[in-house]
């Protein structure tokens, strides 16, 4: 029987609430599909500052580096806003320590939640499922910065190896989906985008089954709203991915439903919900655990190669929604509202 080591970083705010539910679901999936999970907890974010005077203790880094995958809740909160070291530094630090260069953010509209989307129903259609693959460690956010009395400068730089590896992630993701990949750049004005497009085209030769389309970022932003069904997988730079993944998330209408994965070379990945720590509702049995549970499904898919278990969790979430159960953030009048723990229990029961 296979055994996987999972580092569990519950973090701050609602992090422990939603992670506990996700761990319970993962345990149930392991039992059903005949593998074992060893969970080990570590500190990150504000709680790490409180207990260790730093947002990312060395023992947490070591724990994550010796695990098969990492499950993260959320970090930050107003409690630490005025401190010189912010909880968010822990998140940036663990990404760097693990070499997490590819951020995968699905934007899925479940049939039961179509009314939550701000788009018209005829635009949403059926089975809207987009995956944004964002380069996470290069580009303008990490380029050379300079400022003077009357100017400021940020450098957008990409190397061929950086583009090649993120392009490969995009193509590999497309291969297990609908085999359509849109590469988003600004090659009409940016030299770095011209390099990006050239290398993506080179990588495409190794994936003849995938239909590749290039799109300028401004057009991609419009097309996401106009006709989101034309997209399957989007691969793009750090800054463009940051913006477009938030736009895609808004299309779904509920950030509490959205998981994410940050991947390194090989199988290592860090999995977390897109939402923040929401300290105002922490411990109140209100938070929506679905994004974290779906993040566990992504872990099973991308890091642990347990595809059947991943699909079963996704199906269980869908079934609970179809049965009419909602946490308060996605509930409408007349629908059955349940708390964090009950939503987790229902998904586990369906699984």
CA angle, residues 148, 84, 147, in degrees to nearest 5:
10
Q: Are domains 1-104+258-351 and 118-252 of this chain identical in fold?
A: yes
Catalytic residue among 10, 186, 301, 348: 186
Residue 157 annotated in active site: no
Structure tokens at 340: 């964090």
Confidence at residue 249, expressed as pLDDT on a 0 to 100 scale:
86
CA distance 131 to 106: 4
Determine which one of 218, 227, 285, 305 is catalytic: 218
Q: Where are the beta strands (DSSP E) in 202-313?
A: 211-216, 233-236, 259-263, 269-273
Using CA atoms, how far apart are residues 336 and 50, in angstroms rounded to an integer?
38
Domain ranges of the chain: 1-104+258-351, 118-252
Residue 141 is a catalytic residue: yes
Angle at 184 between CA 183 and CA 188, to 5 degrees: 115
Measure CA 112 to chain center: 22
* pLDDT for the residue 333: 80
pLDDT tens digits, 139-183: 998 899 999 999 999 999 999 999 999 999 999 999 989 999 999
User: What per-residue confidence (pLDDT) applies to 339?
Assistant: 96
Position 115 scores a pLDDT of 83
63-96 as b/e, with b when 16 or more CB fall inside 10 Å?
bbeebbbbbbbbbbbebbeeeeebbebbbebbbe
Nearest one of 75, 18, 71, 67 to 48, comparing CA atoms: 75
Q: Which superfamily does 118-252 belong to?
A: Isopropylmalate Dehydrogenase (3.40.718.10)
Query: Is residue 242 annotated as part of the catalytic site, yes or no?
Result: yes
Q: What is the pLDDT at residue 69?
A: 98
Report CA Rg, the chain: 20
* Among 129, 154, 178, 246, the one annotated catalytic: 246
What 3-state class would DSSP assign to 247? helix
Q: Which of 5, 33, 52, 141 is catalytic?
A: 141
pLDDT values of the chain reduced to their tens digit, one per residue, 351 residues: 899 999 999 999 999 999 999 999 999 999 999 999 999 999 999 999 999 999 999 999 999 999 999 999 999 999 998 888 899 999 989 998 999 999 999 999 888 888 888 888 889 888 889 999 999 999 998 899 999 999 999 999 999 999 999 999 999 999 989 999 999 999 999 999 999 999 999 999 999 999 999 999 999 999 999 999 999 999 999 999 999 998 998 888 777 789 999 999 989 999 999 988 999 999 999 999 999 999 999 999 999 999 999 999 999 999 999 999 999 988 888 788 999 999 999 999 999
Does domain 1-104+258-351 fall into CATH 3.40.718.10? yes
| Tens-digit pLDDT profile for residues 179-236 | 999 999 999 999 999 999 999 999 999 999 999 999 999 999 999 999 999 999 999 9
One of 10, 242, 271, 348 is an active-site residue; which one?
Answer: 242
């Amino acid at each position: 029987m296979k055994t996987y080591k999972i580092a569990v970083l519950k973090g701050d705010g609602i992090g422990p609430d939603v992670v506990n539910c996700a761990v319970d679901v993962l345990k149930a999936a392991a039992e059903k599909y005949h593998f074992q999970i060893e969970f080990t907890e570590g500190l990150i974010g504000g709680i790490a500052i409180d207990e260790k005077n730093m947002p990312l203790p060395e023992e947490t880094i070591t724990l994550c580096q010796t695990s098969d995958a990492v499950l993260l809740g959320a970090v930050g909160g107003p409690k630490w806003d005025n401190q010189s070291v912010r909880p968010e530094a822990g998140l940036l630090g663990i990404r760097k320590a693990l070499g997490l260069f590819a951020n995968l953010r699905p934007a899925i509209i479940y049939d039961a939640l179509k009314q939550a989307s701000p788009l018209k129903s005829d635009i949403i259609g059926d089975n809207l499922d987009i995956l944004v693959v964002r380069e996470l460690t290069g580009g303008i956010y990490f380029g050379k910065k300079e400022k003077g009395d009357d100017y400021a400068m940020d450098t957008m730089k990409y190397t061929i190896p950086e583009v090649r590896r993120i392009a490969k992630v995009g193509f590999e993701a497309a291969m297990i989906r609908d085999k359509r990949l849109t590469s988003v750049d600004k090659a009409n004005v940016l030299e770095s985008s011209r390099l990006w497009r050239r290398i993506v085209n080179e990588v495409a030769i190794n994936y003849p089954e995938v239909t590749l389309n290039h799109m300028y970022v401004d057009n991609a932003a419009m097309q996401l709203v106009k006709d989101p069904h034309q997209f399957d997988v989007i691969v793009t730079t750090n800054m463009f991915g940051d913006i477009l993944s938030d736009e895609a998330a808004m299309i779904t209408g509920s950030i509490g439903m959205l998981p994410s994965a940050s991947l390194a070379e090989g199988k290592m990945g860090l999995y977390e919900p897109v939402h923040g720590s929401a300290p105002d509702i922490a411990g109140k049995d209100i938070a929506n655990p679905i994004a974290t549970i779906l993040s566990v499904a992504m872990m099973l898919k991308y890091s642990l190669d347990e595809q059947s278990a991943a699909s079963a969790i996704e199906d269980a979430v869908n079934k609970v929604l179809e049965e009419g159960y909602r946490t308060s953030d996605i509930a409408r009048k007349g629908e059955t509202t349940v708390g964090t723990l009950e939503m987790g229990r229902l998904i586990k029961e369906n699984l």
